[in-house]
Every structure is written in structure tokens, then in C-alpha cells.
Amino acid sequence: MKISREDVLRVAELAHLELSAEEIETYRGQLDEILTYVDKLKELDVSKVEPMAQVLFSSTGEDTENSHQELREDALHPCDVAPAVLSQAPDAAKPFFRVPKVIDR
């Protein structure tokens, strides 16, 4: 068994998920099965392989034929979207988002 009930609870807490008792058991079994499958990655010797984090830029940061990095000018652009954005908030107290009290005092 790769993953215990305690592991599931710890991960759920990290991910801010509140799971039912039934979900905890289901996920434990399914994650265990998936992680057991994923273990096949251990068959490969990757000691000399550089990790690939993304596709567009070379891992060394050099400008190569395969790098298509495009950095834009660091210039200010007017951005007047606050009213539109706040209109989608479940609880807005313009110009703020309102949330339950965080600081106890």
C-alpha cells in the first residue's frame, strides 16, 4: 500500500478539500492504484536527464533555434476592469472582495 488514510487526509488539507468519509476511502484506493502504476517511471535511468519544465524555451536559458521567448516591453497599459471583475464576486464590498474575518482581535 503506497498511500494511507492519513496521507489522504494530509493531502486533502493541503488542497483545501473537505472530503466525506466515503470519499476518503474511495480516493485512498484509487490514488494507491494510480501511484502503483506510476511507479513504472522508476524503471528508467534518469540520472543524467535534465527535467523538462516546458516546451518553448531551452532548459539552459540560451537563445537557441527552438526557443521562442518573447518578452514584451515593461510598459504601463490602462486597465479599467475593476467594476467588471467585481461584478462577478460572490460578495463584493466595492472596491473590495469581502471574506469571513481572518484576524481575531
Partner 1 sequence: MNAPTPWTVATVREGLVAKKISARELADEFYGRIEGQNPTLNAFLTLSKERAYTQADKMDALIARGEPLPPLGGVPIAVKDVISTRDVRTTCGSKILETYVPPYDATAVERLERAGAVVLGKTNCDEFAMGSSNENSAYGPVRNPAAPDRVPGGSSGGSAAAVAAGLAVAALGTDTGGSIRQPGSFCGIPGLMPTYGRVSRYGLVAFASSLDKIGPFTTNIPDAAAVLALIAGYDPNDSTSANVPVDDYLEAIERPAGGLRIGVPEDYFGEGLDSEVKERVQAAISVLEKLGCKRIPLQMPHTDYAIAAYYIIATAEASSNLARYDGVRYGVRVPGSTLIEMYRKTRERGFGSEVKRRIMLGTYALSSGYYDAYYLRAQKVRALIAQDFEAAFQKADVILTPTAPTPAFCLGEKVEDPLQMYLADIYTVTGSLAGVPGISVPCGKTKAGLPVGLQIFGSHFRESVVLRVARAFEKNVTS
Q: Does 21 bind partner 1 (CB under 8 A)?
A: no
Q: Does 9 bind partner 1 (CB under 8 A)?
A: no
CA-based torsion, 18, 23, 24, 29: positive or negative: negative
Query: How many CB atoms neighbour CB 2 within 10 A?
Result: 13
Residue from 60, 74, 78, 87 in contact with partner 1 (CB under 8 A): 87
Rounded to 10 deg, the angle between the 5-14 and 21-38 helix axes is: 100
* Cα 94 to Cα 79: distance, rounded to the nearest angstrom: 17
Q: Which is nearer to partner 1, 41 or 76 (CB)?
A: 41
Positions in the binding site for partner 1 (CB under 8 A): 3, 7-8, 10-12, 14-19, 23, 27, 30-31, 33-35, 37-44, 46, 49-56, 66, 68, 70-72, 81, 84-85, 87-91, 97, 99-102
